[in-house]
Amino acid sequence: MIHLVIGGFGNTTFLVGSVFFLFPSLERMALWLFVAGSLGMCVGTVGEGFVRHARRNRKSRA
């Protein structure tokens, strides 16, 4: 569940960064939002992959 929240935060941050790129005065903030959003999406995806792998291993051992 926490990975879904982190991924959602990353997606939202990435979206806000995209909108900020429409305004020249906010380009620097947009860049940092892109970086933070990308990191959030990556952490969410990798974490979810680990959770699925762990669940699959538990099922096969049972």
Q: Which residue has the tokens 């974490």?
A: 47
Q: Report pLDDT for 1.
A: 77
pTM score above 0.85: no
pLDDT tens digit string along 14-49?
A: 999 999 999 999 999 999 999 999 999 999 889 889
pLDDT tens digit string along 40-59?
A: 999 988 988 998 899 898 88
Q: Cβ(2)–Cβ(45) under 8 Å?
A: no
CA atoms within 13 A on the CB side of 49: 6
Distance between first and last Cα of the chain:
23
Q: Cβ(4)–Cβ(48) under 8 Å?
A: yes
